[in-house]
Amino acid sequence: MVRERIEELRRQLEYHNHKYYVENDPSISDFEFDALMRELQQLEEAHPEFADPDSPTMRVGSDISSEFVTVRHRYPMLSLGNTYSLDELHEFLERIEREAGPTEYVCELKFDGTAISLTYENGRLLRAVTRGDGVEGDDVTANIRTIRSVPLRLRGDGWPAYFEIRGEVLMPYASFDKINAEREAAGESLFANPRNAAAGTLKQQQSAVVARRGLDCTLYQLSGDDLPFSTHWESLLKAREWGFKVSEHGRVCRTVAEVDAFIARWDEARRDLPFPTDGVVIKVNDFAERRRIGFTAKAPRWAVAYKFKAEQALTRLVSVDFQVGRTGAVTPVANLEPVRLAGTTVRRATLHNAEQMALLDIRPDDMVYVEKSGEIIPKITGVELSQRPADSRPFVYATVCPECGTPLVRYEGEAKHYCPNQSGCRPQIIGRIIHFIRRKAMDIDGLGEETVELLYENGLLHDISDLYDLKAEQLAPLPRLGEKSADNIVRSIAASREVPFHRVLFGLGIRFVGETTAKYLADHFRSLNAVMHATREELVEADEVGGKIADAIVDYFADPENLRIIGRLRDAGLRFESEERTLASESLAGRSFVISGKFATHSRDELKELIEMHGGRNLAAVSANVDFIVAGENMGPAKLKKAEKLGVKIISEEEFVAMIGGEEPSQAATQGTLF
């Protein structure tokens, strides 16, 4: 009885999932759906013996972190030739008709998401793999299973025992806006566009997070050894019957004029679609004809993508604000009359810098073209001169900081103006504090942008070092805070004393020292003292540190105000040193190595890590101080010559591994416990 009920509920819930997520035509209310779902959850909990991974209850994903396994595609995932020009598209179609005679095409929307390949075996979803490099991709099955429109079991009959179906994982604009709003509120970095958001979400390690992100998946291409169809169109119709979401916008086109009409229609109509598209894909319909036309090395010769030009909108420029960032850089930002563009409403757009404004010759009250080009903030790409007021005058660029009145400066080689008043200019001060408390830096919870502003206004926070003197009694009486948040904040600040050194270094906000550079610096110098006293020449010795970064670091530590702040952070007990490595052995103590070339079984970083774990030292360049060069494939001839001249010993990867006992520490450790 129970078993029958469970099966009935599963059938009903999948039916309603399909109605809602595939057909966009729900037949029961959310309330009724939730009630069925709850009943199923309770029965499954009480009867674990009837568990089923394909149950609709499992679509919520899990918190278990899954590593992605690399899987080889049975049918390589090719890319498509593409063009922005109708002339080129016509040449493409003419070539096909020259080779194959009058041809039938299927025109489809080109969905702007991230490609996926689903494998079905005996009607059940076996695997979902990303495109990767086209030959191998990541197994993201756990994440794909949370997308309600992806069938876990196929409907109807007639499906091949084994086949793959390709499509696009998409993020509808509505989900994208919601996620970015949440990320903004949490102080997290924003996704630049729905495509990045879809790809980023698919690489999430917790499927429960994916389940909440509102992804969708639309399918457009079958692959298999003996597909029971003779045309692409037929295969799409069948796929739809089996439960897949196949776009209803695809059309069979029998002439070039019909293809053109399809393109012209969707170049406009796509503005009303709830998800992003970036073109039209034109495919030969007949499979036998496809086989005759064949492939190039990278793409089929029987299909092509026509890409739409980036969407533009024309609107009036209302005013220009000058925004001052954390580094003092000034960015002109246009305030616009609100206008719809690529699924969202645009009110502001960046003008980049003074040069760009002059280049566009942009003037107050101009009608301007706005465009989204992958970045979060739209940009202004042109002015509609025919609508310019007769009496208009060029803009006068700001000469003083709009925030603190300090005259702006322009550094050599930089397009932007800067406010040099680092320690007295509000957005710079607040920006630096916000950067410091970010998750990827000191990760101080409970202190958002608003609270930082509040503390600054109340004279409690002038720079990052003040954080460590804050007392709960000072915070609790402030508006919107109260005792509980005050305690939280103080506790979270105290906990940040344990944050590892490389994140402290990142948090300082030295120009050009991002998260990765901070890691390299910390790895190389191992303490703040060492970074502080390093010369420009010594700084560029660290991986990924070039002259520009080195100069910024030297400048930063030359400023007495920064040194004062660092002194106070040191007194507060922050970590200014990298963790001591626990050595696996002393077998390389006192020996210096240079790694050169490519290696069969280790990456260069792994080798460097092994050297340090065994007490050795890594050097960047061949000199008389070097004891060994570990040489891999294609080590440079100049290095080889120099090594020979200096008498430095050259060893292979195998010889190196033998020097550290022939075992990598992790393996040695496991064996130690086993025997």
Q: How far apart are CA 222 and CA 196, in angstroms?
A: 25
- Measured from the CB atom, the residue of 220 and 506 that comes closer to ligand IVH is 220
Q: Which residue is nearest to ligand IVH (CB)?
A: 115
- Does position 305 interact with ligand IVH (CB under 6 A)? The reply is yes
> N- to C-terminal Cα distance for the chain?
53
- Does position 140 interact with ligand IVH (CB under 6 A)? The reply is no
Question: Between vectors from CA 669 to CA 667 and to CA 673, what angle results, nearest 5°?
Answer: 115
The site string for ligand IVH over 245-284 (x = CB under 6 A, - otherwise) reads: ------------------------------------x---
Shortest separation between residue 27's beta carbon and ligand IVH, angstroms: 29
- Measured from the CB atom, the residue of 130 and 578 that comes closer to ligand IVH is 130
Alpha helices (H) along 101-193: 141-144, 173-185
Range in contact with ligand IVH (rule: CB under 6 A) among 77-85, 193-201, 264-272, 604-612:
77-85
**Given 19, 110, 372, 639, which residue is catalytic?**
110
- Does position 115 interact with ligand IVH (CB under 6 A)? The reply is yes
Shortest separation between residue 306's beta carbon and ligand IVH, angstroms: 11
- Measured from the CB atom, the residue of 201 and 221 that comes closer to ligand IVH is 221
Number of neighbouring beta carbons within 10 Å of residue 655: 13
Residue 99, token pair as written in the block: 């080779």
**H or E stretch at 353:** none
- Measured from the CB atom, the residue of 77 and 380 that comes closer to ligand IVH is 77
Residue 79, token pair as written in the block: 């890319």
Q: How far apart are CA 460 and CA 397, in angstroms?
A: 35
Strand 628-631 relative to strand 592-596: parallel, antiparallel, unpaired? parallel
Residue 604, token pair as written in the block: 């260069």
Interface residue with ligand IVH among 105, 111, 418, 436 (CB under 6 A) is 111
CA distances from 187 to 190, 416, 444, 447 (A): 9, 25, 11, 10
Of the candidates 529, 380, 354, 504, the one whose C-alpha atom is nearest the C-alpha of residue 443 is 504
The site string for ligand IVH over 204-243 (x = CB under 6 A, - otherwise) reads: ----------------xx----------------------
Q: How far apart are CA 344 and CA 127, in angstroms?
A: 34
Contact 462, 432 (CB under 8 A): no
Q: What single-letter DSSP state applies at residue 170?
A: E
- Does position 133 interact with ligand IVH (CB under 6 A)? The reply is no
Q: How far apart are CA 527 and CA 501, in angstroms?
A: 8
Interface residue with ligand IVH among 168, 286, 289, 371 (CB under 6 A) is 168
Of the candidates 73, 76, 75, 138, the one whose C-alpha atom is nearest the C-alpha of residue 298 is 76
- Does position 110 interact with ligand IVH (CB under 6 A)? The reply is yes
- Measured from the CB atom, the residue of 166 and 416 that comes closer to ligand IVH is 166
Secondary structure class of 520 (helix, strand, coil)? helix
- Does position 79 interact with ligand IVH (CB under 6 A)? The reply is yes
Number of neighbouring beta carbons within 10 Å of residue 613: 18
Shortest separation between residue 218's beta carbon and ligand IVH, angstroms: 8
- Binding-site size, ligand IVH (CB under 6 A): 15
**H or E stretch at 547:** helix 547-558
- Measured from the CB atom, the residue of 224 and 300 that comes closer to ligand IVH is 300
- Radius of gyration from C-alpha coordinates of the chain: 30
Range in contact with ligand IVH (rule: CB under 6 A) among 1-9, 110-118, 360-368, 524-532:
110-118
Interface residue with ligand IVH among 44, 108, 138, 286 (CB under 6 A) is 108
Shortest separation between residue 166's beta carbon and ligand IVH, angstroms: 6
The site string for ligand IVH over 402-431 (x = CB under 6 A, - otherwise) reads: ------------------------------
Based on the residue annotation, tell me whether 110 is a catalytic residue of this protein: yes
Q: Active-site residue numbers? A: 110
* Residues in touch with ligand IVH (CB under 6 A): 78-80, 82, 108, 110-111, 115, 168, 220-221, 281, 300, 303, 305
